[in-house]
Every structure is written in C-alpha cells, then in structure tokens.
Structure 1
Amino acid sequence: MPYCQSEVLKKLIFLLCMLCVLNACNAPSNQLEQILERGELRVVSRYGLTSYYNNGDELAGFEFELAQRFADFLGVNLKISVPDTLSKTLNMIDNGQADIAAAGLTVTRDRQKRLRFGPIYYEATQQLIYRHGTTKPRDITEINTGQLEIVANSSHAEQLTTLQQEIPLLSWTENQSIDTSGLLELVQLELIDYTIVDSNEMAASHSLYPELRVAFDVSDPQPLAWGMRRSDDMSLQLAVNTFFDEIENSGYLDQLIEKYFGHIRRFDYVDSRAIHRRIQTHLPQYESFFKAAALAYNFDWRLLAAIAYQESHWNPEAVSSTGVRGLMMLTQATANEMGVSDRKDPQQSIFAGTAYLTMMKNRLPERIEEPDRTWLALAAYNIGLGHLEDARVLTQKNGGNPDRWADVRENLPLLAKQKWFSQTRYGYARGGEPVRYVGNIRRYYDIMLHHDEVNQNISTPPAEINETLPAAL
C-alpha cells in the first residue's frame, strides 16, 4: 500500500538533509538526487515467481512489491525493465542505465568487487537439479557423465569455479541466452541432464516442473540483496538502508516474505540453520523414541521426527495458544483417547501421535495408495478427518481425484470460503493450514534424509528409502 503524502514528505526531507551533509549542499547531483529530480526509480529485475511476473491483470512478485514500496518511499514512479540475460542486468547497473538490480541477486565475493549491495533480506542455497527417473547423483563428483548447464555469469558459475579447484575434472556449460526457468525446462524435457538453481526459485517453481528433483545442495545458504553501482557515491545505498530499516521495524518485510516465501521460510533459509542445530542438540534425546514408534507402527522414523519438528521444534514443553502441548502437540481429547497421562512426556507424546496418525491412515479408503495415503493422513492429523473428507468431496465435485493429495490440496483452501463450505457436512475450516502443514513436513523429512546421507556417508537407493514413502517432492 503506497505511503500517504505526509509520510513521503517526511522521508524526502530526511533524505535531502542527509544529502546536504554528504555533499555540503554545493556538489554536483548525486545518484539519489538524480532519481528525485527525474521522478523515476529505474529497476532491473527478471521474470519469475520469486521476482516479477504478471498475475492476471496485475503485476506481482516479491521483488516488484519491494521495489514499488521503495519508489513510494522516495515519492517517485517505478520503472521496471527485464533484460534478456543476467550479464545485461549487471551491465545496466554498471553503466548507469538502471539504479537498482532487484533480481534475487546472491551476494558473492566476486560481485562485491563490481556492485554495492543493500541489506540482506533473504537467503538461498544453490541446488543441483535433475529429472525424476534418471540416476540421482550423490555428490558433485558424479555429474561428469552428464551435461550440466547453468546461467552465464551467475553465482552458480562462481561456486562451480571454486569447487573446480578441488575437483579438476568438474565441467559445465554457461548458457548466455536463457535464464533459470529456461534451464529448468531443458532438464524437464531431457535436453540437458542437470542445472543449478537457487532453492527459493526451485521451491516456488516446482509445480511448473513436476518431474524435477533436487539431488543435493551445492552451497551453504547464501545472502540475497539488491545490487547498485559501485562508486564513491553512497547516497542511494544510504536511502536503501533507511528504507529496509523502516520496513523491518514496521513488519512489512516479514509480511512480504511470508506472502511469497512462507512455505519455504518455515523449513529453510531462515529456519534451516535452526533445524540443523537442533538435529545436533535436541534430536538425539528423542531419536530412540522415534525409532521405537516407527518400528511399532511401520513408519520411517525420520518422518515422525519431521512431524514433531513441525509441531514443536522438538520442544517437549511446547504449549500453543489453543492448549495443545508436547512434542507432538496433542490436544487433551487426543491424549485421553490415546491413553496419555502426561502430554509433556516425550515418549508418551511420540507414541500417541504416531498411533493417532496410524488411525487416520487406517480410516481412509483402502483404495488410496502411497504416498497419497500418508499425505492425506497428515492433513487429517492437522485439520481432522471430517474436514478432510469434506475437501475430498469438493475435489470430486470439481473434477479432481479425491484419492490424490495433489488434487485434494488444491481444494482444501475452499473450506474457508462460504460458497464452498456451505456445501459441506462439517462446515468452515482453515483449509490452507493442512496444505502448508504437509508441505513443511515433507521438506523437513527431506532435510532429515539429506542429513543422514551426509553425516553417515551413505546413499540409500530411493526404492529402499521409500518403501513407505517416496522422497519428498
């Protein structure tokens, strides 16, 4: 939402005072003054779900909304252009054709020699992407039998160059003409074997490329920020810093991240370092209970651990505002039904939660096969079997398959809309919650699997890992 006029004037007065201090009020116009004088902020971005795209008749995207907010902050118009390639994007910043690159740029050592970066607003991990049905490489040394293609002049190229110092035979092709989404499509069509994509982009784009999978992380989490021309003129950077301070303090940045990356943020980049720490510090205390419950009820123990992390972050003392508590966040009614005397007792909580999930699975129609059976049971664990059945009925009415999680999850959010919940037996429910709930658990489960592979130096074939469940998609 644009700032009101008085707010804009306050910001402009502040910025102009700041510029006077910087320039002693008699130097030639600096970059920020030029933007204010022309009344236009020139931003270069790129098309994509995480940056800038057309949403029907409206423009949308995380970077677009952030840039529009900054233009409102300055009281100027926003002009966005999308160069054909990343190289052109960087060149437009270098030669002054654009003021800011708001394109999900990774802050790297090489780029810091060329650009000045604003505050870090997010983190992403580089991931190697391959097509389902082909051999999954276990690590970077196993990709030389296939064709790896990446965006030219990208942070991915910098990372591979660094890795090549330790792996001299590592080779790849840099594509000068297409972007990340184009390379994903080439992998989907089996025209190339691998590409590298930032994790936030992969998560946001996965529904567009259903056959693609993440093989492994190529880098640690890396910061993302706006890029600006590197010079002695710091006026624009100071304004950007002031802007980010304000949107962080007001909560707007968190709201925008939740809007576009909420499903990612819960399990990664902001949270991933926390879960990896807790794998070391918290999980060992409860691992034997997860394994025992998994053995008793025929689950992968890492799935049970992922559920508990989603529920409580492995905190047996956790209590929600609605009164659910413990590692598996049991309601009092569920605890009574499962014979739990102390919901904060880790062993009782884990076994009761697993027994309840088993009950949900067993009450689903026998015809539902895995993995859909488990995903639907998890949704029922979260929202209740009655509401799940309502969503399955709506799915069938809308031409979907009520036995497929992919179809049901599209219809679950309809339970919050009167047009739809008025047709159901159990009525209103916040149907978006189980969709996020299942998605988060699947991704936490992926992290658990990856952690085992890395730390135990083993790679279990997918068919063995997934006798009960497939790899999280």
Structure 2
Amino acid sequence: MNLFKTKYLKYLILGLISALVVTLWPRKKEVPGHPRDYAEIIASGELRVATEYNSISFYVDGDTITGFHYELIEAFAHSKELKAQVTPVMSFDQRLEGLSNGTYDVIAYGLLATSELKDSLLLTEPIFLNKQVLVQRKAPDGNDSLLIKSQLDLAGKTLHVVKGSPSILRIRNLGNEIGDTIYVNEIDKYGSEQLISLVAHGDIDYAVCDESIARAAADSLPQLDINTAISFTQFYSWGVSKQSPVLLDSLNSWLNHFRESKEYKEIYRKYYRD
C-alpha cells in the first residue's frame, strides 16, 4: 500500500470512528424542555455540552478523551463543582436545536459571530482566533496552475461545507464580492475532517473548514493545499441560549480570567499553532 493510500486510509478510519462514536455515545432520552440558566444548572450539578467530534475539539483515544474545547469546558465545570456531560454532535443544526430545546446548555465549539447566529443565541467572549480556508488537492504532476490560488477563481465552483456552517454566509458574501456565483453543497452526515478526507481521495474537489483542522490534516496528507483563505482571521466563541444570560456572564467571567492563566496557554499550545 503506497503512502497516499495509507494516509487516506488513516483519515477514512478516523471518519468511521467518529461516526461510530457519535452514534453510540450515551445520550439521555430527549424530552421537551427549556433552556436552563445558571441557577438551575448549579442545582442539578450537571452541565450539558454539545461539541463536534474531531482531533481538535473532542477526540476519543482508547479510554482517554482529549480536545481543546473538551479540556476548556471541563476546566470551567470543575471550577464550578459541576459534572460536564459532553456529547459529540456532528450536525451544526442539531447543536443549535439542542440548545434551543434545553438538551444542551452550551455549544463548546468555535462559533463565528455572524449576525444570523447573534439573532438565535448568545455568544461568549472570544476564545481563540481562526479562519476558514479552502481545502483542495495539489496537481499530481506538480503543475500548480490547476490550483485555485485566488478567491476570484472560485466563480462557478462548488464548495462542500458542513450543513449549517457559518461559513456559508461568508461564501455567499464572497460570491457577491467577486460578482459571480459560488455554489455551496451542505453535507449533513460528515464533519470537517471527513470532508477533508473526501477531498484527499478525490471524491470531492473542494471543501471549506477551519484552518486549525485543515492544518492538522495537511500535516499527514501532503497532497492537500490549504493556502487559499475564504475568510479573514476572526474571533470564535462558544454559544448559549438567549434564555441563559446568567450562564453567559459566568462563562465570560471565567474565560476572561482563565485565558490569562498558564493552564490555558498549555492547553492552547497542544492543539493550535500560531
């Protein structure tokens, strides 16, 4: 088996594992409810959290759970003497729905502060910087003339994104900026890492995802190019329900202090490169 197939197989297996983990991850039976605020959460002793399963946010390795957002939300919960019940949810829309019906108290995943999101939930203070990038394959013969190097070259192209991703609004605005149509195909079943593996194998040509996730994949899939930015570098936050303002204040107060700590810097360096 050549190196390309070996590395693609690695990401295909990761995709299958993530689908299996998300499917089999223990969930409480969902019943019609309401978003909880801080007092109700403290009284229950449990903080219910939704995130995405990937090697940056939340990842299961044997009997160990790791991930930037997982470690941060665990630190917050520990500081409040709460037990964090973290659930991997691949669908962006399902995370939002779970927040609105009280299934989850927090979306601990990088959310971009778009006007659309601000209308539907409350966003915490910024947690980290990131941007959206185009994931594509390099020309196999080394002829990079086939690569999209400019946003102007996106005219008429179809970009694959996770369904409901905030990047969709950015892509539409980008289409207006270049004066041409950029088509968007929303994928419901897969997360960003799975879309990247589909690009690597040639099943799709272009995907858009967070640069941090794309960088992690490109380290072991050198046939990928991630050098074309789709957005500017922006701040990303967590989200809570609009009915949970005290929870938002508690998270913000904690984040403002924790981001200055040595513990935060150590966690950040594990998953992100400046």
Q: TM-score range by the shorter chain?
A: 0.7 to 0.9
Matching of residue 221 in structure 1 with residue 233 in structure 2: yes
* 1:31 alignment partner, one of 20, 33, 37: 37
* Corresponding residue for residue 97 of structure 1: 103
* Corresponding residue for residue 259 of structure 2: 248
SS across alignment from 2:215: helix
* 1:184 alignment partner, one of 179, 196, 200: 196
Would you say how many aligned residue pairs link Structure 1 and Structure 2? 234
Question: CA-to-partner distance for each residue in 1:87-132, whole Å, 9 max, x for gaps?
Answer: 1011111221101001122222221111111111111111111112
Distance 1:249 1:137, change over 3 A: closer
Amino acid at match of 2:65: L
Contact 2:132–2:208, Cα closer than 8 Å, also in 1: yes
Q: Larger deviation: 131-140 or 187-196? A: 131-140
Contact 2:156–2:181, Cα closer than 8 Å, also in 1: no
* Corresponding residue for residue 170 of structure 1: 182
Matching of residue 85 in structure 1 with residue 124 in structure 2: no
More strand by share: 2
Distance 1:237 1:165, change over 3 A: same
* Corresponding residue for residue 160 of structure 2: 149
* 1:236 alignment partner, one of 247, 250, 255: 247
**Alpha carbon RMSD of aligned pairs, Å?**
1.8
Contact 1:49–1:205, Cα closer than 8 Å, also in 2: no
CA distance in 2 between partners of 1:99 and 1:119 (Å) = 16
Note the C-alpha offset of 1:172: 2.2
SS across alignment from 2:56: coil
Amino acid at match of 1:254: K
CA distance in 2 between partners of 1:99 and 1:109 (Å) = 21
Matching of residue 110 in structure 1 with residue 116 in structure 2: yes
Q: How does 1:28-427 map to 2 (within 5 A)?
A: 31-133=37-139, 135-144=146-155, 146-166=157-177, 167-231=179-243, 233-261=244-272, 264-265=273-274
Gaps of 5+ in 1: 1-28, 266-473
CA distance in 2 between partners of 1:236 and 1:210 (Å) = 43
SS across alignment from 1:224: strand
SS across alignment from 2:267: helix
Note the C-alpha offset of 1:146: 4.7
Contact 2:134–2:230, Cα closer than 8 Å, also in 1: yes
CA distance in 1 between partners of 2:112 and 2:156 (Å) = 28
CA distance in 1 between partners of 2:227 and 2:266 (Å) = 31
Question: CA-to-partner distance for each residue in 1:205-252, whole Å, 9 max, x for gaps?
Answer: 223433211141111111111111123x41101110121123134332
Contact 2:105–2:240, Cα closer than 8 Å, also in 1: yes
CA distance in 1 between partners of 2:136 and 2:271 (Å) = 25
Note the C-alpha offset of 1:171: 1.6
SS across alignment from 1:113: helix
Note the C-alpha offset of 1:157: 0.4
Distance 1:207 1:249, change over 3 A: closer
**Which consecutive aligned stretches of 4+ in structure 1 deviate over 6 angstroms post-superposition?**
none
CA distance in 2 between partners of 1:250 and 1:39 (Å) = 25
Note the C-alpha offset of 1:145: 5.8
Note the C-alpha offset of 1:52: 0.3
CA distance in 2 between partners of 1:103 and 1:201 (Å) = 12
Amino acid at match of 2:154: I
Structure with greater contact order relative to length (CA < 8 Å, sep ≥ 6): 2
CA distance in 2 between partners of 1:115 and 1:71 (Å) = 21
Note the C-alpha offset of 1:144: 4.4
CA distance in 2 between partners of 1:79 and 1:226 (Å) = 16
Amino acid at match of 2:201: L
SS across alignment from 1:41: strand
CA distance in 2 between partners of 1:58 and 1:103 (Å) = 19
Q: Larger deviation: 251-260 or 144-153? A: 144-153
Amino acid at match of 1:180: S
Gaps of 5+ in 2: 1-34, 141-145
